[in-house]
């Protein structure tokens, strides 16, 4: 599984900002903010510089890894996509902007929007010595402000639509699609509720002419049935400080997420998506795949040496040749 760690310049900026910070105080603040989010809350409890920094130190590594993994999947399917402009919706500490900058060297213009004053201030401070230094960060409600934002080649909304009600989510989906000159990427927590929100947005925008680039290899209805749901997992390592903030002993964290990348151009390659970690034994590799034809449970026998060798390398979330499921 590929690793997606925070960029060195972002790490350095966060270290600089956290000099003299009480880890105990930061852990309390991060815990209270996380508890609010788990209860369906918003970023409203993040009111001060210390709140914003505690949130970034505790959560930014995981959200960054999920966004970076989603962007990696998008780039795999669209290697010809070279966006020049980015719009980061509900940007918070600009996590998605950092991930996009690492993924696409072609990006030259960065714009962001969020209503949270403390998170905006942290974002603007941490980008000062990076290629995001010229980022235009608008402090405004995403619905009220997005209508006035310019279109961009790539629009990203990460961990934001969960903060809105159904009517506002639909309005935001429409506005983001209008602002996406080429591609829209939306990432949500990998829960049944997050999956449901992504499905609703996906269905709505396909009806407006969008095409799914990833993770789905098709524009059809999702073939999964409850209680199953589509989500992925990205593992990231925890530093000593990160473990202290999270109150954890394990040196790694698995961030569960769900995403959809939508484009104005249809996907032209035949791929399938690995929907769970494959099982491996001496006889075969077994995997659950989402294909253009729907859900497929495949078994790649060991006697097919080349196919078996390739299947042994499959990871949860990988795009694999669609012909293996035929």
The 10 Å CB-count burial string (b at 16+, else e) for 114-125 is bbbebbbbbbbb
Model pLDDT for residues 14-53, shown as the tens digit of each residue:
989 888 777 777 777 777 766 666 656 667 788 899 889 9
The CATH code that applies to domain 271-321 is 2.40.50
- Taking every pair of C-alpha atoms in the chain, what is the biggest distance, in angstroms? 61
pLDDT at position 113 is: 97
CA angle 316, 320, 321 (to 5 degrees): 160
Q: List phi, psi (to 5°) of 100.
A: -65, -40
Query: CA-CA distance, 32 to 30, in Å (whole number)?
Result: 6
Query: Which residues are 319's β-sheet partners?
Result: 273
Domain topology for 8-263: Rossmann fold (3.40.50)
Intervals of CATH 3.40.50.150 along the chain:
8-263
Three-class SS state of 236: strand
pLDDT at position 256 is: 95
Cα end-to-end span (Å), the chain: 25
CB count within 10 Å of CB 101 equals: 21
Q: What is the pTM of this model?
A: 0.94
Averaged pLDDT in 10-residue chunks for the chain of 326 residues: 86 88 73 65 80 88 95 96 98 97 98 96 96 96 92 97 94 98 97 96 98 97 95 85 69 90 93 96 95 94 93 95 75
Query: CA-CA distance, 205 to 263, in Å (whole number)?
Result: 10
Intervals of CATH 2.40.50 along the chain:
271-321
Q: List phi, psi (to 5°) of 153.
A: -60, -40
Question: Using alpha carbons only, how large is the chain's radius of gyration in Å?
Answer: 20
């Amino acid at each position: 599984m590929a690793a997606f760690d925070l960029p060195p310049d972002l790490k350095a900026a966060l270290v600089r900002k956290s000099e003299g910070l009480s880890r105990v105080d930061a852990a309390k603040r991060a815990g209270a903010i996380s508890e609010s989010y788990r209860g369906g809350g918003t970023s409203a409890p993040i009111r001060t510089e210390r709140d914003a920094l505690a949130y970034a130190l505790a959560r930014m590594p995981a959200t960054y890894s999920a966004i970076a993994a989603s962007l990696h999947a998008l780039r795999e399917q669209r290697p010809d996509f070279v966006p020049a402009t980015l719009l980061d919706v509900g940007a918070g500490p600009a996590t998605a902007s950092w991930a996009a900058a690492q993924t696409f060297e072609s990006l030259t213009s960065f714009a962001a929007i969020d209503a949270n004053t403390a998170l905006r201030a942290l974002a603007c401070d941490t980008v000062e010595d990076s290629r995001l230094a010229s980022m235009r960060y608008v402090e405004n409600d995403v619905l009220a402000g997005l209508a006035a934002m310019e279109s961009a080649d790539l629009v990203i909304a990460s961990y934001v639509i969960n903060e809105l009600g159904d009517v506002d989510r639909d309005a935001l989906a429409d506005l983001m699609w209008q602002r996406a000159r080429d591609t829209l990427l939306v990432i949500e927590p990998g829960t049944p509720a997050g999956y449901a929100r992504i499905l609703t947005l996906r269905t709505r925008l396909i009806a407006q002419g969008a095409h799914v680039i990833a993770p789905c290899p098709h524009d059809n209805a999702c073939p999964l049935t409850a209680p199953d749901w589509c989500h992925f997992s990205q593992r990231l390592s925890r530093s000593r400080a990160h473990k202290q903030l999270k109150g954890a002993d394990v040196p790694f964290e698995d961030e569960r997420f769900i995403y959809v990348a939508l484009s104005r151009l249809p996907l032209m390659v035949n791929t399938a998506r690995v929907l769970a970690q494959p099982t491996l034994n001496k006889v075969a590799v077994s995997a659950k795949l989402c294909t253009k034809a729907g859900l497929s449970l495949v078994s790649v026998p060991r006697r097919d040496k080349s196919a078996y060798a390739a299947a042994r390398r499959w990871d949860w979330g990988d795009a694999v040749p669609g012909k293996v499921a035929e």
